[in-house]
Amino acid sequence: MKPDELASAHCAPRKGKEHALGAAEVQRYLDHLPGWTLSADGNGIVKTYRFEDFHRTMAFVNAVAWIAHVEDHHPDFKVSYPSCELHYSTHDVGGLSLNDFICAARVESLIGPH
Ligand SMILES: C[C@H](O)[C@H](O)[C@H]1CNC2=NC(N)=NC(=O)C2=N1
């Protein structure tokens, strides 16, 4: 999939090692997702979003939760008063799949320029 197609794609059940993305493909997608980086263990992608106050942070958390519900793909959240760290990884492949990048791209579209 081309990186600019991620935000309009939908997650699909992806289970098993054959759906794990290789390092080159991971880097190609990360290059199109500003602020997203590989997690320390290399099995996930992370980004911290910053907000003016708790209300805005929680509005973001709820919007991302809706994406998770619709796409049936679920991030870990680390929530503080002015920030939310998102962590996407695909447990079913033991690493990164296309689903992680689709959701990250959808969050980027949701939040707009920042
Ligand atoms: C059946 C269902 O699609 C799977 O259990 C989904 C649900 N949400 C998921 N979320 C994440 N982050 N990783 C998964 O492997 C995963 N699997």
Please report the pLDDT score of residue 114 as a whole number.
83
- The percentage of the chain sitting over the pLDDT mark of 90, rounded to a whole number, equals 97
Residue to substitute in 11, 91, 101 for testing ligand 1 pocket (most ligand atoms within 8 angstroms of CB): 91
Residue 113: is its pLDDT beyond 90?
A: no
Inside any domain, residue 22? no
Global pTM reads 0.96
CB 75 within 8 A of CB 64: yes
What band does 72 get if pLDDT is binned at 50, 70 and 90?
very high
Domain count for the chain, please give it: 1
Inside any domain, residue 73? yes
Inside any domain, residue 6? no
Nearest CA to ligand 1 atom 6: 73
Residue to substitute in 11, 69, 74, 89 for testing ligand 1 pocket (most ligand atoms within 8 angstroms of CB): 74
Residues whose CB falls within 8 Å of the CB of residue 88, separated by 6 or more in sequence, listed in order: 44, 45, 46, 73, 75, 96, 99, 100, 103, 104
Q: What is the rounded average pLDDT of the residues 88-103?
A: 97
Q: Name which of 3, 39, 15 is nearest 97 in CA terms.
A: 15
What's the CA gap between 36 and 47, in Å, rounded? Answer: 5
Inside any domain, residue 67? yes
| Cβ neighbourhood burial of 107 (10 Å; 0-12, 13-18, 19+) | buried
Inside any domain, residue 90? yes
Inside any domain, residue 5? no
Inside any domain, residue 18? no
- pLDDT tens, residue by residue, 7-49: 999 999 999 999 999 999 999 999 999 999 999 999 999 999 9
Boundaries of domain holding 65: 32-111
Nearest CA to ligand 1 atom 16: 73
ipTM above 0.90, yes or no: yes
Q: What is the CATH number of the domain that holds 56?
A: 3.30.1360.20
Inside any domain, residue 99? yes
